[in-house]
Structure 1
């Protein structure tokens, strides 16, 4: 750490020593014994501007207190059938670890439909996975490798991406904003695989809108990305959709232990059991409370709003072109028949 960066951390630390006790308590849940590393993450997110980083972190701590985020891992989504529906439509899972020990999260961006529950259930599930990653998975990985591991990698499968993604943009923007404001610098690299033409068309116009720091984290890999990903992880840690070309991001693979999206996968079983265990500690005698947790949904930042509008516009253009092509093809068929 350079002199300037060290000075920024010291200034930031002095400011954080002045916050009220409730904020200090939730800060402990964030830093997990590594406060300096957390300060650095927020400084990076605000280009090492100490006042801006301080405001960002204090806003994050207030958000956590107001929405009881510290206890969200004690609030299961019940009944199980509802949670299974969430898992079948919000495709995410832990497929393994990189050779350096970073968790590998697989995300079925193309086939996720988010249509089995309300927005609040999906936001609750998203935050729970974030918190489980930060409080359980990353500390465990750090202990195993003997060094502080603070981030993960994400492999996004674009198989199945369609114009219907328009209906998901608002929810995805909410989740992205929650991550940007409250979980900055938690993803080391985003790997995009199985990208169809519709993604490539959107990526061309979205890429220039991203901050340079974000652009550097995104890598669009050819095909299923297997050969490139095997440079940083073993075959066993590859997401199932990266193991052979054209395999795609099926919701239901033949081997349920390989499909890290399903509730039957060890990762989701461990997560679900952990949440039930935490719930029983807080309320050992009472039944699990049904209903989603209504977390305050943040307003999108200007950059994210612009990106969402751009994606929406490009998808609409693509849809118009597709409909025009279909109409012309229909006319050709009709002319041939006549």
Structure 2
């Protein structure tokens, strides 16, 4: 496992301060990025770059430039409107938050098998994803840290594979864009990826994807048996489990109780927060124009070649794997 050494953390924090000194935009962007915890940010970026200080520094500077160019620090003041459109995006790329694990980490659930990313332009899905990331980092995690009495800077994610089909892989381009944003700008923010309700096709997908992942990522992936109720209960209380694991929720009530529902408290609170931020900065009127220019920072050349190859060949390889397995 790759660790960020204390020496590397000290060297990187000094290097970032020196690289941003005298540039008000960079200084402000960096301040907003670390939120008062520069050591934790240095540790995350170092882990993402195998404890290499120079590469981690470049990664941070690239991310800061992205935040400045696309005004990411104000993305929460640009709600996607009208509310019906915001809700429709949430329903077509199901994601929600069920609560917190016993260590105070927020628990997010993503409905991978229920994606329908063909209803809106890609940039709207990208913006929506960035807003959730920023809301997590600026609101949810700081609130949890205050409640727990210690710093909480990471989350848990549960991927629900119910209804996963080969046709779902047609959304690989948008999903790859979102994954790239997370890898380059929000590294090491997830401690564990739980895979729930995995159908046969997931095993084929996993055989294709697993060799392409970093070792540090492989170790974070836990494929659960069925819904994974017993495994998840080891780290969270029952009331935090996703609805498909809850024995106290009737089948007919699961749609309204689901964390994917736009009426779920997480989505309602996030929407209200963005409206308040928009009111403060008086930028609601310009939100439509601004949202069409959210860019994705390109990785360095060697990383770009890897991600490009994965995107181009992923679906074909999965289909081939499924076909071979079904005839084996």
**Structure 2 equivalent of residue 15 of structure 1:** 15
- Residue 193 of structure 2 corresponds to 190
Pick from 110, 122, 126: which aligns with 1:123? 126
| Alignment partner, residue 333 of structure 1 | none
- 1:188-235: CA deviations, max 9, x gaps? 100001001111011012212211111001110110111100010001
Deviation at 1:182, TM superposition (A): 0.2
Q: How far apart are 1:288 and its partner, in Å?
A: 6.6
Which of 113, 116, 119 does residue 113 from structure 1 map onto? 116
Matches of 1:73 and 1:302 in 2, distance apart? 32
Q: CA deviation at 1:5?
A: 1.6
TM-score, with length taken from structure 1: 0.87
In structure 2, relative to structure 1, the CA distance for the partners of 1:163 and 1:256 (3 Å cut) is closer
Q: CA deviation at 1:256?
A: 5.4
* Alpha-carbon distance between aligned partners in 2 of 1:85 and 1:4, rounded to the nearest angstrom: 41
1:290 match: secondary structure = helix
Number of equivalences:
315
Q: In the aligned structure 2, how far is the partner of 1:160 from the partner of 1:4? A: 39
- Once the 2 structures are TM-superposed, how far is the Cα of residue 320 of structure 1 from its aligned partner? 5.8
If you compute each CA radius of gyration, which structure gives the higher value, 1 or 2?
1
For the residue of structure 1 that corresponds to 2:5, the secondary structure is helix
Gap change, CA 1:182 and 1:4, over 3 Å in 2: closer
Shift of 1:305: 2.9
RMSD: 2.3
Unaligned runs of 5+ in 1: 326-338
Q: Name which of 135, 142, 147 aligns with 2:145.
A: 142
1:6, distance to aligned residue in structure 2 (A): 1.8
Q: 1:29 Cα deviation (Å)?
A: 1.2
Aligned counterpart, 1:84? 87
Using the TM superposition, give the Cα deviation of residue 163 of structure 1 relative to its aligned residue in structure 2, in angstroms: 1.5
SS state at 1:104 partner: strand
Asked if structure 2 preserves the Cα contact closer than 8 Å seen for 1:256 and 1:264, the reply is: no
Residue 190 of structure 1: SS of its match in structure 2?
strand
Runs of 4+ in 1 over 6 A off after TM superposition: none
C-alpha contact 2:77 2:281 (8 A) present in aligned 1: yes
Q: d(CA) in 2 for partners of 1:128 and 1:26?
A: 16
Is 1:200 the counterpart of 2:199 in the alignment? Answer: no
Partner SS state of residue 11, structure 1: helix
Greater share of helix? 2
SS in 1 for 2:253: coil
Q: Does 1:44 align with 2:47?
A: yes
Report if the CA contact (8 A) 1:257-1:266 is conserved: no
Which blocks of at least 5 consecutive residues in structure 2 are unaligned?
A: none
Structure-2 residue corresponding to 1:233: 236
Structure-2 residue corresponding to 1:209:
212
Whole-angstrom distance in 1 between the partners of 2:70 and 2:216: 29
Report the CA distance between 1:243 and its aligned residue. Answer: 2.6
2:275 match: 276
Contact in 2 for aligned 1:156/1:190 (Cα 8 Å): yes
Distance 1:152 1:49 in 2: 24
Structure 1 equivalent of residue 28 of structure 2: 25
Other structure's SS at 2:288 match:
coil
Alignment pair present for 1:93 and 2:96: yes
What TM-score, normalized to structure 2? Answer: 0.90
Q: Please give the secondary structure, in 1, of the residue aligned with 2:98.
A: strand
C-alpha distance in 1, partners of 2:35/2:46?
A: 18
List per-residue Cα deviations over 1:275-297 (Å, max 9, x = no partner). Answer: 0100000018x647435342112
Is 2:318 aligned against 1:306?
Answer: no
- DSSP 3-state at the match of 1:84: helix
> Residue 261 of structure 2 corresponds to which residue in structure 1?
262
Give the whole-Å Cα distance in 1 for the aligned partners of 2:233 and 2:186. Answer: 27
| CA deviations over 1:56-85 (Å, ceiling 9, x no partner) | 000000000000000000001011111111
